[in-house]
Every structure is written in structure tokens, then in C-alpha cells.
């Protein structure tokens, strides 16, 4: 019985982290998820910080808002290695117009601290007028095109073969300033909190 209890405790202890990881990867605030799920921002915060264990109804609302099945949050898949074939890359949802992301990392979410995408940015595509900032680090490698990144007020131009590695707490934004679609490898690492 102790082994089963340990397994349940382990699954429950990861619920909040999985919800927070999905939410932040989508670029949503607590209030954004609250609006979409009908659960208060304070309640979501308490779930994410393991302050409370959500009911099944609450989990169904949060799962639906995040576009996942409830089973995603309770499955244990601690894999050491996952192969991603070129023909079976999953798309990564983004609100950024003109940006297509395909997952090339082992997992989009879970116990790994890093996720990577093959990115195609249309001519003129950008992260928007406002600067972003969040936990973690990003590494961008330019395969094709010309991308402009602004990090803490400094401008970096990436041409094929160039890369940029930065801490994402620094205000940043990006734009395809070239005359062709930019192709990039984009890596995001978020250490566990």
C-alpha cells in the first residue's frame, strides 16, 4: 500500500507544475487561464504551488482550457530519451501571427527543463509591440533569413549561422526583418521552481 501511496503523492505533487508549465508556455497569465477555465486566478495559483489538490471538476475545466485531457496531468512518463522523427513533429500552439513552431525536443512539457522547436517566421512576423519577459533562457540559431532580436534595449541581427543566447527575464522581442521566411532552431529552458 505504501508504494501505491507514494505513486499517488508523486503524481499529485506534479499537477501544479504541469499546469504552470503549460500555462507559461502558452504565454498566459494566471488571469488568462482563469478567464478560459472559470477557475479563479487565486485558485489556480494555489494549485500550481501545490497549496491545494484540485477536484476532478476543477481539473476538467483547467484541462479543457489548456487543450489537454485530464489524463495528461496524471500520467507518469519519466522517459530518459524520446525519439522525434522529422515526419512526426507536433505543432506547438502560439498566438504569434506568422510564426509556425514544430516540436523537435523530447517533450513539449513534463520533467525536462528544456524544449526546442523548429521555427518558421514569415516575412514581417514579430513578437508584437510589447517586450516580453519570463523565467528561463532562450537560445536561437538562425538557419535561413534575417531576424532582429532586442534584448534589454540592445539589438542583435541574426543571419544564417548566427545564434543568440539570453536570459528571458530581460525584456525582449523579435522580428523577421529579412525578405524571406526565416527558419530557426529555438530552444527554451525553464529550470524547475
* CA 16/CA 161 separation, integer angstroms: 38
Is the predicted pLDDT of residue 4 greater than 80, yes or no?
Answer: no
- Tens of pLDDT, residue by residue over 55-66, are 888 989 998 999
Cβ neighbours of residue 75 under 8 Å, at least 6 residues apart? none
CATH assignment of 86-189?
Answer: 2.60.120.10
Q: Residue 158: enclosing H or E segment and its boundaries?
A: strand 154-158
The pLDDT of 161-173, averaged and rounded, is 96
The predicted pLDDT at position 119 comes to 95
For the chain, residues classed under CATH 1.10.260.40 are: 2-74
pTM of the model: 0.61
The predicted pLDDT at position 109 comes to 47
The predicted pLDDT at position 76 comes to 61
CATH assignment of 2-74?
Answer: 1.10.260.40
What DSSP string runs through 48-89?
HTTSSPPPHHHHHHHHHHHT--HHHHH-----S-----GGGP
Among 150, 148, 141, 140, which Cα is nearest to 171's? 150
User: What percent of the chain is predicted at pLDDT more than 90?
Assistant: 48
Is the predicted pLDDT of residue 84 greater than 90, yes or no?
Answer: no
Is the predicted pLDDT of residue 20 greater than 70, yes or no?
Answer: yes
- From residue 20, alpha-carbon distances to 30, 53, 105, 132, 158 in Å are 9, 14, 19, 17, 31
Grade residue 108 by pLDDT with cuts at 50, 70 and 90: very low
Is the predicted pLDDT of residue 71 greater than 90, yes or no?
Answer: no
137-151: b (≥16 Cβ within 10 Å) or e: bbebbbeebbbebbb
* CA 179/CA 145 separation, integer angstroms: 7
For the chain, residues classed under CATH 2.60.120.10 are: 86-189
Amino acid at each position: 500500500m505504501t508504494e501505491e501511496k507514494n505513486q499517488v503523492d508523486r503524481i499529485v505533487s506534479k499537477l501544479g507544475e504541469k499546469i504552470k508549465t503549460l500555462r507559461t508556455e502558452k504565454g498566459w497569465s494566471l488571469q488568462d487561464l482563469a478567464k478560459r477555465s472559470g477557475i479563479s486566478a487565486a485558485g489556480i495559483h494555489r494549485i500550481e504551488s501545490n497549496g491545494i489538490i484540485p477536484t476532478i471538476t476543477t481539473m476538467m475545466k483547467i484541462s479543457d482550457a489548456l487543450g489537454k485531457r485530464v489524463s495528461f496531468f496524471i500520467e507518469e512518463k519519466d522517459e530518459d530519451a524520446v525519439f522525434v522523427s522529422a515526419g512526426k513533429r507536433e505543432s506547438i500552439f502560439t498566438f504569434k501571427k506568422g510564426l509556425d513552431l514544430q516540436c523537435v525536443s523530447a517533450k513539449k512539457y513534463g520533467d525536462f527543463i528544456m524544449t526546442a522547436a523548429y521555427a518558421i517566421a514569415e516575412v514581417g512576423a514579430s513578437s508584437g509591440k510589447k517586450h516580453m519577459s519570463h523565467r528561463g533562457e532562450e537560445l536561437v540559431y538562425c538557419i535561413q533569413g534575417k531576424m532582429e532580436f532586442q534584448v534589454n534595449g540592445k539589438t542583435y541581427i541574426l543571419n544564417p549561422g548566427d545564434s543568440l543566447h539570453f536570459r528571458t527575464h530581460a525584456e525582449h522581442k523579435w522580428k523577421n526583418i529579412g525578405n524571406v521566411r526565416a527558419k530557426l532552431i529555438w530552444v527554451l529552458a525553464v529550470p524547475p521552481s
